[in-house]
Structure 1
Amino acid sequence: MAQTPGEAPINPLPPVVVALFLMIVGVEVVFSLGARGVVGGPGAVGWRLAALERYGFSSELFRWMFETGQFRPQHLLRLVSYPFVHGSFTHAAFAGVMLLALGKMVGEALGDVRTIAVFVASALGGAVIFGVLAPGRALLIGAFPAIYGLIGAFTYMLWLRLGQVGEQQLRAFTLIGVLLGLQLIFGLLFGGGPDWIADIGGFVVGFALTIVLVPGGWARLRDRLRHR
C-alpha cells in the first residue's frame, strides 16, 4: 500500500499511555536487573518483595484504617502505587500489552486528561471494593484493575456506537465477558486469589465514569435524568 507523504507508518500512541507504560516497564526492569545482580548489589535481590510489602494494597490494612481512624499518607499511597508493582516479569508484560492496546483506543477517543482520570479512578475504585470485599489478608498488586477500567470506558463507547447504528448494544460487553470467562477458567485450573474483585470494580468505575467523561456525556445524562 502506498503511504501518504508525511504520514507516520505507525499511528502514535497517546502520550499519557506511553508514560504509564514506561512507568510499569521501568519499575519491572529495575526489579529484573536487581534480581540478576546487574544493579544494586546483593541487596537488590529483595527489591521486588520489599516493594510489594510497601506499595501493594492490603485489604487488612485498609480495614484497619477505618477501624482506627488513622489514614496515614504512606498507607493511602498504596491506593495509587499498587498498579506499578507486579509479581513477575510476565505479570508486568501482560499488563503492559493490554495497557497499550486499550489505552490507544480510549486515549484517542477521550484525550489524555480523561484517559488518566479513568485509569486513576479505576485503580482507586478497584482497590476500595477489594478492600471491602476481599477476605483475610489479601494483597492487591498490578495494573489490571486500572486496565479493566479502560475496558469499561471502551465498552461504554462501543455501547453508544452500536446504539447509534441500530445494532444490538449487548455486543459491547463481549470483551469483558470473554476476559472474565478466561480468568475464571485459569482460576479453576491453576488457582488464584481474589484479584478479580478489584478487576470487576475497576471495570464498573471505568464504565460509569465514561458516561460523564465522553464528549456530550454530561448533557446526555442530565437530559435522561430530567425526562425521568
Structure 2
Amino acid sequence: MDHVSRENRPPPPQASQIGAPGFLWTLVGIMAAIELVLSLSDAGYIGATGLRWQAYALGAFWQPVFAGTIPPAWPGQAVAMFITHAFLHGGLMHLALNAVILLSLGKFVAARVGPVRTLAVLFLSAVGGALLFGLLAFTDAPMIGASGAVFGLVGLWQADEYHLRRRHGLTLKPVFTAILGLVAANVAFFVMLSGGLAWEAHLGGWLAGGLAGLVLLRNR
C-alpha cells in the first residue's frame, strides 16, 4: 500500500488515540472468525472440505448475478452480496493484509470523522467497489475481500491530505504522487497475480471514499 506524505503538517489532536477503536476490531474479528472456519475446513479439521466454496457461492460478489445472466442462489443475494463479499477472503494472508491496513488507516479516519461516519465510509466503499466491479468486470469468478472498503479509507485519507494542503498553501504534488503510486502498485499486483486482482473494486472503493472525504472533511 502506498504511503501518503504527511510532511509540513501538524497532526490533529484526535490522532493521539492509542490503538484502533473497538468497532474496527469487531469488524476484523468477524472477518477473522469466518476465515478461520473456512481455513480449518480446507485443512479437513471441521465440516466438509467444500465449505469455502459454499460460502463463496452464498456471500461473494458474482458479476453474472449482478448482470442477471444467472439467478441468485438465495432471495436477496443480488443486494446482500454488495456487502457480504467484504467479509470473505481468499486465505489468511489475504485477510491479514486487509486487516492491518483497515486497523491502521481506520484509526486515523475514525479520529477525523468519528466512528459512525467511518463505518458509513467503509460500507459505502464496499458497495462502490462491488458496483464498479459489476459494471467493468466480465468474469465468472467470485469477487471477495475487504479491499474495496480499505481503498475507501485510502481515498478519504488522500482527500484529507488534499484539503489540508490547499488550506495551508502547500504543494499538492505529494497527493498526486501517492495516487500514481497506488495505480502503479495495482498494475504490478495485477501482473504478478496473472489478472487475479479485482482492480475495479479497488478503484470503486477509492472513488467512494475519496468523494466522501471531499464532502466530510471540507470544513474540518
Q: Which residue does 1:106 correspond to in 2?
A: 109
Does residue 62 of structure 1 match 2:66?
Answer: yes
How many angstroms does 1:195 deviate by?
0.6
Change over 3 Å in CA distance of 1:47–1:153 after alignment to 2? same
In structure 1, list runs of 5 or more residues that go unmatched. Answer: 1-9, 218-228
How far, CA to CA, are the matches of 1:11 and 1:174 in structure 2?
29
How much has 1:129 moved relative to structure 2?
1.1
Per-residue CA deviation, residues 53-100 of structure 1 (Å, 9 max, x unaligned), is 1100011110108x99xx941321111000110111111111111111
Measure, in 1, the Cα distance between the counterparts of 2:127 and 2:152.
Answer: 10
- SS in structure 2 of the partner of residue 140 of structure 1: coil
For residues 181 and 55 of structure 1, the distance between their equivalents in structure 2, rounded to whole angstroms, comes to 30
Pick the structure with greater CA Rg. Answer: 1
Find the partner of 2:30 among 20, 23, 26: 23
Q: Which runs of 4+ in 1 moved over 3 A?
A: 173-176
What residue in structure 1 maps to residue 92 of structure 2? 89
Cα distance change on mapping 1:35 and 1:138 into 2, 3 Å: closer
The CA distance in 1 between the partners of 2:182 and 2:206, in whole Å, is 11
**Equivalent position amino acid for 1:53 in 2:** A
Q: Which has the higher contact order (CA 8 A, sep 6+)?
A: 2
Query: Which residues of 2 match residues 1-228 of structure 1 at below 5 A?
Result: 11-38=18-45, 40-41=46-47, 43=48, 45-64=49-68, 72-193=75-196, 195-214=198-217, 216=219
Q: Which moved more, 1:146-155 or 1:170-179?
A: 170-179
RMSD, aligned CA? 2.4
TM (norm. structure 1) is 0.81
One-letter amino acid of the counterpart of residue 54, structure 1: L
Structure 2, gaps ≥5 residues long: 1-16
